[in-house]
Chains A and B, each alone.
Chain A
Amino acid sequence: MNMRANNEHKGPPIPGLVWVDRASELLGRIGDVLIVLITVLLTYEVVARYVFSAPTKWTQDVSTLMQVWFTFLGMALVLRKREMIRITAILAIAPAWVRYLFEAIALIVILVFSVVAASKGYDMMQDSLRLGRRQPTMMAFPNWVGELPIVIGFALLALQSLVELIRLPFGPAPQFSVSGEQETPAAESDKSSQVSAS
């Protein structure tokens, strides 16, 4: 089930499309940095509490906020790399035109949802800015700080799914397998060294 289409589509050579890829790549990498930062922060918190008897008040709020950021910023890269979890039992045995069609439907669902989410997220953020909403925590961060990544993340995801949709007819039919690895031996070593959440 952790199945992916095995290839990232390349063509057509429209220059704008590559910039979307690069933006997704960049924001995704920022997410990597954030995860390492969270680890450091929370470890520091434990050390500060036990070794220096001086716990901080901010690590919990800040790291939770970072979680919101890395998740939404990294969505587009996950789509680009076709890493999302999907059921491919039918896709794996479907003829090429069905795979084109279903892939297009999947991308359209993501595109439409992302556009709605980005615009509603923008409304929410505007509202928070207007009312000066703050979180009821020790740090009392402004709410918009946690709402901004929703706007950025879904706007980028909308663009990325649009880009993938444009590329779809130019590439080969997307390939799926029940397990994701069977036909591509190169992926095996990679897969076995990867950890899923289950």
Chain B
Amino acid sequence: MKLQGKTWKFGDNINTDLIIPARYMTAYEAAELGKHCMEDADPEFSKKVQPGDIIVAGENFGCGSSREHAVLALKGAGISAIIAKSFARIFFRNAINTGLPIIESPEAAIAIKEGAEIVIDLTTGRIENLTENQHFAIKEFPEFLTKIVENGGLLKWATREKKGPIR
């Protein structure tokens, strides 16, 4: 699976209140939440971002609340993947469970600049920065997590494992 997009850079500890403020959480559809994604960091973000774009961030991305609305808002805004130095744990599992590709790579998170055109090849485990001619290797996920992501999320994986409806 290959993802290509322009990057948007954010710093450390980007929390879920910033990704999607609670005041918009009377909605839970990705398209609606996407309109307010990152609004308190950059009010114009959802207008500027293009489908397929990729977020590059610092430490502890997605810290704070367990709201899966954060993952949905990012997806709804058109974000196709997130590269960060590290991810907060509930955001990490929400991304895995819903099949949003997340890549923990401190090197790539530091080196890639905002606006770069990059390609993430999840099959070969490589990030290519087309703008700066850089390459980064992606650390492999544990097998258990890879299976969930490859199946498109936790519930699809579980359905596949049981070879039928989970329940």
* Bound pair (A, B): no
Could you list which residues of chain B lie within 8 angstroms of chain A, going by C-beta atoms? none
